[in-house]
Amino acid sequence: MVENFDAIIIFHIFGFGINATIFSTWIVMAILLILAKLATKDLSNSIDGKVSRLQIAMEAIVKGINDQIREASGTNPMIFMPMIGTFFLFIGVSNLLSIIPWFMPPTASLSTTVSYAMCVAIAMPYYGIKHVGIVRYLKKYIEPTPIMLPFNIIGDIASIFSLAVRLYGNVLSGCVIGTILLSLAPYLIPLPLQILGLLTGTIQAYIFSMLAIMYISSIGLEEENKLIR
């Protein structure tokens, strides 16, 4: 009944069972790669007046993510663009694809979302130490007083964990509600909830990337990087 996509084995490669989560992850990756390849095939800068529609669409998306990162982190957005932009595009596309029947969104599996949250957990100390130094980074844990040390550590772990569970729960709840309503009143009743699922899926992608950038830049990168901006 509950969608456990990790338990569904689609096919085997060299003895390894490829489950539905990995398979749909590959589908999303293929879609993103092909779209990016097509959009960057013949780039032009509009001086000769010919810019493909796909390029304009992609430029709008990239510009939007860029502006959001600049607003949230207050630094040069290109530092975080590869990671945060990928999070947004990947989670957004996989959530949007969840309205296709029999497509199992990879974000409805806890293993996927936890691995993304682990990426953020690694990026937090990486960017923090890289930009403000290890002493100032570790000092954030004993602020305002050293008594707060355990609570600061627990707070960091909890924020990472909540990042993963929030995305997983939202996408999974959409799937479960769809399944239950489909068995109760098929065809027409689940439609509005599916449409709502599109909205929540996009918002969750936005929230995941925004929270990731906020956690990463919470150390106070903006003071150091005023010049780059």
Partner 1 sequence: MDNIGLVGAASVLAAGLAIGIGGIGSGVGEGHAANAALKAIAQQPDEAGNITKTLFVCMAMIESTAIYAFVITMIILFANPFWDHVINLAGK
* The two three-digit tokens of residue 102, written as one number: 């029999």
Indicate which single residue of 117, 172, 212, 213 sits in contact with partner 1 (rule: CB under 8 A): 172
Rounded Cα gap, residues 229 and 223, in angstroms: 11
Distance (Å) of CA 204 to CA 12, 84, 153, 166: 32, 13, 25, 8
CB nearer partner 1, residue 104 or residue 172: 172
The mark string for 73-102 relative to partner 1 (x by CB under 8 A, - otherwise) is: ------------------------------
Report, in Å, the least distance between residue 173 CB and partner 1.
5
Residue 187 β-bridge partners = none
- Total of residues contacting partner 1 (CB under 8 A): 18
- Any contact of residue 206 with partner 1 (CB under 8 A)? yes
Rounded Cα gap, residues 178 and 190, in angstroms: 6
- Any contact of residue 121 with partner 1 (CB under 8 A)? no
Rounded Cα gap, residues 55 and 39, in angstroms: 5
- Any contact of residue 4 with partner 1 (CB under 8 A)? yes
Q: Do the beta carbons of residue 168 and residue 107 sit within 8 Å?
A: yes
- Any contact of residue 173 with partner 1 (CB under 8 A)? yes
DSSP string, 72-121: HH-S-GGGTHHHHHHHHHHHHHHHHGGGSTT---GGGSHHHHHHHHHHHH
DSSP string, 184-213: HSTTTTHHHHHHHHHHHHHHHHHHHHHHHH
Indicate which single residue of 35, 207, 224, 225 sits in contact with partner 1 (rule: CB under 8 A): 207
- Any contact of residue 184 with partner 1 (CB under 8 A)? no
Q: Do the beta carbons of residue 33 and residue 89 sit within 8 Å?
A: no
The mark string for 123-162 relative to partner 1 (x by CB under 8 A, - otherwise) is: ---------------------------------------x
- Any contact of residue 29 with partner 1 (CB under 8 A)? no
CB nearer partner 1, residue 75 or residue 209: 209
- Any contact of residue 66 with partner 1 (CB under 8 A)? no
Instruction: Give contact residues for partner 1 (rule: CB under 8 A).
Output: 1-2, 4, 162, 165-166, 168-170, 172-173, 176, 200, 203-204, 206-207, 210
